[in-house]
Amino acid sequence: QVISSCPQRDCIRLRGLPFEATVTDILTFLGEHSRSIVFQGVHMVYNAQGTPSGEAFIQMDSDASAESTTLNKHRKFMISNNKKRYIEVLQCSGEDMNLVLTSGLPQMGMAAPPASQPAMLPSVSIPNAAAFMPKPFGISP
């Protein structure tokens, strides 16, 4: 899935996720709004050590879907592994997402971000709104 760099605000950013949260946990948290996620639209963010950063970006099918999700889910709680976490849900653009995922550097080919910066692993395909993010290969915990 190509992340749009146009100013359209059809994405959301989740902050405060439990580190052990899965894509399924995110879909459960988003509830009916998960139906508006585009194919391969869930982007879990991992740090340079390959561990979850507590953030994710979600590409929605429209600005209106992203806005509705933000209005209904911002500052709500997610329960994961019997832990209750306050989640920030912020509407953003594909350009905003790219800036965060590339640490503010312009995208030039497929170069990896600097080792001290967050890294994004491959997107997850969401058939029937249920999928799991595979553990990255070649990255030591």
pLDDT (average), residues 123-139: 41
Cα gap 63→35, rounded to integer Å: 14
CATH of the domain at 28: 3.30.70.330
Helices and strands (DSSP H and E) totals, the chain: 3, 6
133, pLDDT greater than 60: no
Domain extent for 73: 11-127
Q: What is the number of structural domains in the chain?
A: 1
Is 42 contained in some domain?
Answer: yes
Is 137 contained in some domain?
Answer: no
Q: What is the pLDDT of residues 69-119, one digit of tens each?
A: 999 999 999 988 888 899 999 999 998 888 877 765 444 333 333 444 444
pTM exceeds cut of 0.85: no
Is 50 contained in some domain?
Answer: yes
Is 123 contained in some domain?
Answer: yes
More confident residue, 23 or 6: 23
Cα gap 82→49, rounded to integer Å: 26
Bridging pattern class, strands 11-15 and 52-60: antiparallel
Is 28 contained in some domain?
Answer: yes
Cα gap 81→140, rounded to integer Å: 24
Instruction: Quote the pLDDT of residue 83.
Output: 82
